[in-house]
Amino acid sequence: MATRGELIEAIGQRYRGSDPKERGAILDELVSVTGFHRKHAIRVLRAVQRPARKRSASRIYDAAVAEALIVLWEAADRICGKRLKALAPTLIEAMQRFGHLALDGEVRAKLLSISAATIDRMLAAARQPTAAGRRRRAGVGSAIRKSVPVRTFADWKDPAPGYFEMDLVEHCGGVRAGGNFVHSLVLTDIATGWTECVALPVREQTLIVEALARVRAVLPFPMRGLDTVNVNCTAQRPFGLG
């Protein structure tokens, strides 16, 4: 049996080529078969079916846009598409001003108009090598993580300034390999959002203690406690080093 669209097309051709008397009979036939309201059936039969337009196979974003996007992504420390979309206008202007990027007007316009979702799709191939081997293995590490209580922002109960979240960022380029790397020690105050960053040539406990002492000396409020990734050392009294 023909589909409804094919039936309407066949009857519509007869309807549009018939005289008024024959049209009435054709209209009754369509209403009986399809259950359409009579006025709707008239509109359907009068409509001329046009072939669907085929979308152009050409890509909006060509290889030049993709290459420039990868350069921006690398310069932005491989952030996600949403953040790169927001950063792109400032980043493009700065990189062009200092000679790190040369774009013609068309490529620049496309980079500024690209959506965050499209950015993520276009960077998928570039991200794949850096993501290899990043998944954590189940086992002892999982058991340790489950046994250590995790405190979120909501669990702080409106603390006074001076209680910091602390973490180390390893600048290894995405894929971790052997050897030492420069680290950033990052401390963020829970109450105010005040953030201090200290560069460390290597990851070493003595350097971390020295960096904490330097941060403590320049803070506008006393350091009362630290919450780290793996050890909770928060104190309800002035924080002491050593």
Question: What CATH number is attached to the domain comprising 227?
Answer: 3.30.420.10
137 belongs to a structural domain = no
178 belongs to a structural domain = yes
144 belongs to a structural domain = no
Segment 102-127 mean pLDDT: 90
219 belongs to a structural domain = yes
pLDDT single digits (tens) 159-195:
889 999 899 888 877 666 667 788 899 999 988 889 9
Segment 85-99 mean pLDDT: 91
What percent of the chain lies above the pLDDT cut of 90?
30
141 belongs to a structural domain = no
At residue 37, the pLDDT reads 82
56 belongs to a structural domain = no
Domain boundary (96, 131, 166) is at: 131
Of residues 240 and 117, more confidently modeled: 117
At residue 229, the pLDDT reads 64
Of residues 14 and 145, more confidently modeled: 14
At residue 215, the pLDDT reads 94
Of residues 156 and 57, more confidently modeled: 156
Query: In this structure, are 103 and 34 located in the same domain?
Result: no
Say what the pTM is.
0.39
At residue 35, the pLDDT reads 78
Cα 211 to the center of its chain, rounded Å: 33
Query: In this structure, are 68 and 96 located in the same domain?
Result: yes
Residue 10 sits in which domain range? 4-46
Count of domains observed in the chain: 3
Instruction: Identify the band that residue 239 occupies on the pLDDT scale cut at 50, 70 and 90.
Output: very low
Query: In this structure, are 160 and 112 located in the same domain?
Result: no
Among 31-45, 120-134, 170-184, 226-240, whose mean pLDDT is lowest? Answer: 226-240
At residue 211, the pLDDT reads 93
